[in-house]
Amino acid sequence: MQNLNGRFAAVLPAGGLGKRMGGNIPKQLMLLGGKPVYRYSLETFLEMEEIAEVVMAVPADWKDHFEKEIFNDRERLDKLGDLIACKMKIVVGGAERWQSVENGVNALTSNAEYVLVHDVARPFVSKEIIRDVCETLVTKGSCLVAKPAVDTIKIAADGKVEKTIDRNTVWMAQTPQAASITLLKKLYGRIAAEPLNFTPTDEASILEYFGESVYIVKGNAANDKLTTPEDFEIFASRAR
């Protein structure tokens, strides 16, 4: 495997308010195993030599909170202070997730060639998966992490099944999703000139829309998204 150190940046969108969670704070700030949800994936990316820079996009009303919690937390600074100081910045997210990612990509200042976009609501992404994404980016091109469907997949309309499709062709999208920084900036420019007629739910949908190939890196259940209160009970057993 070739030397990949420093060739990648990470953008961590943390701008959602997690309405399905309930409560009065964003779900990424809720405690899981004694620390906020966002810190798990943030620490994973910061610790990796492959990652030259990490930008987190957060809700405007919570930016001060995140900055104080991350940059002023003495216990945290003792552990990751140098990495935070040299690798990390926080930006305000956009109205939609893809716009938060765009803000993060535009804030990158390192010499990284590629960017990995990862939802902080997937706290237990492994370094192995991240490295697989980095390797795929260099050897093949744009990619996303996804896990194969295990259930039978039905297509339905008006509450009635229309057909069954081959589940071997179905993959459940996860993150990181990744591309070259130059490519994403070019596509954002095209969107600015001619706005999309749909709201992208992930980076892969933007790449697909513009005819770019997107390769799959196999994910797993440990990288699932924390969405509902019930998920907290399941994820708590995995917290380190």
pLDDT tens by residue, 169-201: 999 999 999 999 999 999 999 999 999 999 999
Phi-psi region of 44 (alpha: psi -120 to 50; beta: other; left: phi over 0): alpha
| 147 has a pLDDT exceeding 70 | yes
| Global confidence as pTM | 0.93
Q: What is the pLDDT of residues 130-144, one digit of tens each?
A: 999 999 999 999 999
Evaluate the CA torsion angle 113, 115, 116, 120 in order and state its sign: positive
CB 190 within 8 A of CB 210: yes
Residues 116 and 8: beta-carbon distance below 8 Å: yes
- Residue among 238, 104, 240 nearest 176 (CA): 104
Residue whose tokens read 């070019």: 186
CATH no. of 8-236: 3.90.550.10
- Residues whose CB falls within 8 Å of the CB of residue 111, separated by 6 or more in sequence, listed in order: 6, 52
Domains of the chain by residue range: 8-236
| Cβ–Cβ under 8 Å, residues 112 and 185 | no
Please give the Cα distance from 21 to 114 (Å, whole number): 32
Lowest-pLDDT choice from 37-51, 79-93, 124-138, 176-190: 79-93
Q: Give residue-wise pLDDT tens across range 201-233.
A: 999 999 999 999 999 999 999 999 998 888 888
For residues 40 and 46, what is the distance between their CA atoms, to the nearest angstrom?
10
Sign of CA dihedral 25, 27, 29, 35: positive
Q: pLDDT over 70 for what percent of the chain?
A: 92
Q: What is the 3-state secondary structure (H, E, C) of 89-104?
A: EEEECCCCHHHHHHHH
Residue 116 has pLDDT above 90, yes or no: yes
